Every structure is written in structure tokens, then in C-alpha cells.
Amino acid sequence: MVTSMTMQEMADAQEDTKKNQASQLQHLTTESQNEASQGFDTKSAIEIARIINHEDAKVAAAVKKALPEIAQVIDQVARCLRDGGRLIYIGAGSSGRIAALDASECPPTYSTAPGQVQYIMAGGPKALASAVEVNEDSEELGQRDIARRRPTRKDIIVGLSASGRTPYVVAAVAYARARGAHTAAVTCNQDTPLAAAADIAIIADVGPEVISGSTRMKAGTSQKMILNMITTGTMTRLGYVYENLMVNVHMQNSKLVERGIRILMGACKIDRETAVQTIKSAGRSVPVALVMLKAKVDKPEAVRRLAKSDGNVRLAIEDNVLEL
């Protein structure tokens, strides 16, 4: 006969869980003490800066080892966005804030629709400015928050957690994967629950932090580098970059208008007046203006070509069918 747990048994089980989590943390590289920063509190300002700089120099090398997995994610995100799906980041604490930054910069940089690249932060938007890190321990909240976005097979969910064991993030990624969504993990430790929960695991093993466990430092830097690669690579694969120019820039202020003019001048080797007039006739669209000039077509034809190529500027100029 099966009986329900007593209050004492439930308390004992919770205590065992806490002890198990504490034991796991002790073995994480990101929680280990860094020999290079021993006696850190006795150092001068220049010594502190040198130690941090020396440790930061290791980040790019750690990210380099994960390039094959990063490339896989870039291609998968590009496929999802092309099929009308979404890239949804989910994270907690510093990881969530980095995810929010990357997602929020895609619309002004590449003129993406607001819903194409999204973020979910443990604790909600208020957690961006005020720490509510307790939410990251809740699997239920992670499942609830991703469920509200209704993930499908068209979407890719990317979970970020330096430790790789944040319950909120692991549960959200597992939920999305179970419902057919593509999933990826970005973490800084080997053999983690988050990596196991995702289709693709990007692991940047940056080693112990200068301040033990302060994963806003090297771990956070690696995550920022990786997300930069994912969205920049994706938008380039989609054709929103021509050569190395930000041709899909959303000209919403004077700085961005000037950038659009300079992009057109450089790409087409034209003077400023011609660039300004072409952008005006193109409806303030740099991609349309670029296709008009490069392919020597009028605005309606440029618009038609861009629609045919799903916004891929190079293919619109060459009037080729889209292949990705």
C-alpha cells in the first residue's frame, strides 16, 4: 500500500536535494577557486586589472573550441527563421540579461520583426535591473514561462546557464524539446543537465573565475561572444548582410540614417547626393536602394526581387532562387 509522504519526509527529501545540489556545485569548474587570483584582496589596482585581463584572454580560446557547435546552431536558427519560426533565448541572472541584450539589438541592427528573436528571463523583465535570482531554482516557472510562448517545431529555444544546471532553464529547454522545438544549450561546464536536455550543446570551458563563482565575468563574456556569433551568423546566412555591411539597418535616428547613406556610398561607389536621393526613392530602405543600384532596376523590381529572395540582398541583386 502506497501512502503519502509526511511533512517530515518531505522536509527530509528537500534537504537531501539541497545537499545534492551543493555537492554538484563544488565540482563545477565555474565554482572552483582560481589559483591566479589567490590573495586578490591584497593586490594593487594595476595588479587587479592585469590578473583580470590575463584571465579574460583565455575566453576566446575556449569559445574557439565550440565553433563547430556554434555553426550548427547558426544554421538551425537560420532555417527556423526562414520557415517563419522564432529564436527564443531563456536564461536567469547574468545569462538572462545577456540573452535580453542580444535579442533586443536584433531589430535595430537587422530590421527583424520583434517576435523573431525573443528572450525569457527568470523573474520577468523586472529581473533585468533587480536581482530576483530565487526564480532560477523553479522548474515549474521555467516550464510555465516557455509554455506561454507555445514552442513548435518551427522554433529554436536556446538555454543559457553558466553552471549548466539552473533548474529554471533546464526545465524550459526540456519542455520545448518534448514539444518538437529545436533546442540548444550555452554553458561553461562539461557534462551538465542543460547540455543533456538540448539537441546541441555549446560549451565554453573558460575555467575558474577570478572571483570564485562570479560567472558574470569570463563565463558571461563567453556567452556574449557566442550569442553575437549566433545572431550575426544567422542574419548573414539569411542575406541581411551584404559583403560585411549592415544593409538591413533600421534607420530610426540620425546616426542610423547616416550609416545607411555611408553603406550605400561604399557598396556602390557613389557620391553622397546620389546615395541620399536613391534612399529617398527607395522608401528609406537600404536593401531596396542597394538592389536598385547594383542590379540597375527600378524600385518595384527591387522590391519584387527582395520578396522572391526572402530578403536576401545578394540573391536579389543576382535574381537567383533562394538556397540555404
Instruction: Give pLDDT, residue 8.
Output: 60
CATH 3.40.50.10490 fits 59-237, yes or no: yes
Q: What is the pLDDT of residues 149-183, one digit of tens each?
A: 999 999 999 999 999 999 999 999 999 999 999 99
Of these ranges, 3-12, 120-129, 169-178, 304-313, the one predicted with the greatest mean pLDDT is 169-178
Using one digit for the tens of pLDDT, what is the confidence trace for 70-126? 999 999 999 999 999 999 999 999 999 999 999 999 998 999 998 999 999 999 888
Give the model's confidence band at 14: pLDDT under 50 very low, under 70 low, under 90 confident, else very high: very low
At residue 20, the pLDDT reads 52
Active site residues: 105, 136
Q: What is the 3-state secondary structure (H, E, C) of the chain?
A: CCCCCCHHHHHHHHHHHHHHHHHHHHCCHHHCCCHHHCCHHHCCHHHHHHHHHHHHCCHHHHHHCCHHHHHHHHHHHHHHHHCCCCEEEEECHHHHHHHHHHHHHHHHHHCCCCCCEEEEECCCHHHHCCCCHHHHHCHHHHHHHHHCCCCCCCCEEEEECCCCCCHHHHHHHHHHHHCCCEEEEEECCCCCHHHHHCCEEEECCCCCCCCCCCCCCHHHHHHHHHHHHHHHHHHHHCCCCECCECCCCCCCCHHHHHHHHHHHHHHHCCCHHHHHHHHHHCCCCHHHHHHHHHHCCCHHHHHHHHHHCCCCHHHHHHCCCCCC
pLDDT the model gives residue 244? 93
Q: Is the pLDDT of residue 310 over 80?
A: yes
- For the chain, give the percent of residues with pLDDT over 90: 73
Q: Please tell me the least confidently modeled range out of 32-41, 107-116, 236-245.
A: 32-41
Domain 254-318 has CATH 1.10.8.1080: yes
Domain boundaries, the chain: 59-237, 254-318
